[in-house]
Amino acid sequence: MGQSVSHQQTVASPGIRVATALFAAGAGLIVLYLVEYALDLRAENDFYREAWPAYRLLLHGHFLGFLRDSPAYVGSLLMRAPFALLAGALGASARGVYVASAIPCVLALALLAGYLAARWPVVNPGNADPQATRGIRPLELLMFAPPVLLAINSGHPEDLLGGTLCVLAVLMACRGSGWGAGLAIALAVINKAWALVAAPLVFALMPADRRLSGFLTAALASAALIVPLTALRISSLSSASSALGVHIGGIVLIPQLLWWLPRGSWIVLRAHILLVLVCWLVTCLWWWLRVHRDGHRVRADQALAALILVLFLRAALDPWDDTYYLTPFLIAVAAYDERPGAPWLTVLFTAAITVIVPPSGLLHGLGANGEAACFAAFALGTIAWFARRAFRVGHGRGPVAYRSAAGSRA
């Protein structure tokens, strides 16, 4: 009996669940239309200040100018350029180009929802149908969550794409796909440099015999684009180092753990580099305790908890932290929250982020230090909660019934 249940947990249906992907895609496109057309929140959208001047050069055939004048996340603009070019060819305005360039980010999240539904169904051991007790999954409705809405409204749908690719890379590494996980994390890094925080975790999760192929795939795929881009832009402020945000500058927002340090302090000015190092150190500790010593017992829910932890640390230690910075974290929470019943974790963190994180939100009356204290309490509790789940040792089932490749071979 135990063997049959284990087999039921590890067998995955091929491809993606089309109905799930279509539902999530429809929801995403509706949200994209409402945010950009029906609500007309263009004044809050960074796309028109940061990305549209570069895309306008591209639409006029100035490819090198497009690469030089793009913002630091030029890789994301390049990946989405075919959609922008198609919109431009059809005579779309700046608004139409933005919507077109955001479509692949929305569809990526929908495909992840369908992929999860097909590859890692929630298993009910007492029922032959693994989907019998499953209603709508968190990822299918995530597009309606305020942090996701704000990411689109702010002109940063690439954070949806980056979060989706990080989750996909972790899950593929858990399944033992070295090259697939390596390609996914490479695309995430190309899309936006903050995805570097998740790269060591992806390599740590790969089976030892596939780690080299995964690393080479990631290195070659990312270097093929990043190296020539950096060489082209090396004389400008948008070089590889500035993409990581080596110098913070004058922007320091409230919802982050470095609030009480002086703005000109060395830690704050180098925070973008230091937060990557902190995430890497946490990953190394996790690898030593959970993979190196006991690798065959690491479940994918624990891997997702570790991903959630590093994605949250990335936002909480960033002086530029804004609501949409936590969108990748929320995507990982929704993937972790795959279980029968209401997705309480997703709902809880959606509500907490909406209330606590906005710099001029519901807590504005408490003053800057009061808001920072509320965020610190929320951040430290979140870090402790997911650290406990990422580092704990045990054979019991977690919130999801995923199995790592190493675990299935044991």
In tens, the pLDDT along 112-143 reads: 999 888 876 544 434 444 444 456 678 888 99
Predicted confidence at residue 410, as pLDDT, reads 33
**Sequence-distant (≥ 6) Cβ neighbours of residue 155 within 8 angstroms:** 44, 45, 46, 47, 48, 50, 51, 98
Q: Are 142 and 346 in contact (CB under 8 A)?
A: yes
**Sequence-distant (≥ 6) Cβ neighbours of residue 404 within 8 angstroms:** 174, 175, 176, 205, 298, 299, 300, 303
Residue by residue, DSSP assigns 151-220 as HHHTT-THHHHHHHHHHHHHHHHHTT-HHHHHHHHHHHHHH-GGGGGGHHHHHHHS-HHHHHHHHHHHHH
Model confidence pLDDT, tens digit, residues 202-216? 999 998 889 999 999
* Alpha helices for 245-320 (secondary structure H): 266-269, 271-286, 300-316
Tokens of 30: 């509706």
Interatomic CA distance for residues 284 and 393, integer angstroms? 17
Q: Are 188 and 169 in contact (CB under 8 A)?
A: yes
Model confidence pLDDT, tens digit, residues 234-273? 755 444 444 444 456 667 888 999 998 988 888 988 999 9
Query: Tokens 């596939």 — which residue?
Result: 210
Instruction: Mean pLDDT check: name the lowest of 198-212, 263-277, 334-348, 395-409.
Output: 395-409
Instruction: Mean pLDDT check: name the lowest of 36-50, 57-71, 132-146, 154-168.
Output: 132-146
Predicted confidence at residue 13, as pLDDT, reads 44
Give the number of other Cβ atoms within 10 Å of residue 42's Cβ: 16
Interatomic CA distance for residues 106 and 168, integer angstroms? 15
- Each domain of the chain, given as residue ranges in start order, spans 2-125+132-409
Tokens of 328: 């990748």
Give the number of other Cβ atoms within 10 Å of residue 388's Cβ: 11
Tell me the Ramachandran region of residue 135: left when phi exceeds 0, alpha when psi lies from -120 to 50, beta otherwise: beta
Model confidence pLDDT, tens digit, residues 151-165? 999 999 999 999 999
Mean pLDDT of the chain: 83
Residue 26 pLDDT greater than 90, yes or no: yes
Predicted confidence at residue 294, as pLDDT, reads 66
Give the number of other Cβ atoms within 10 Å of residue 288's Cβ: 11
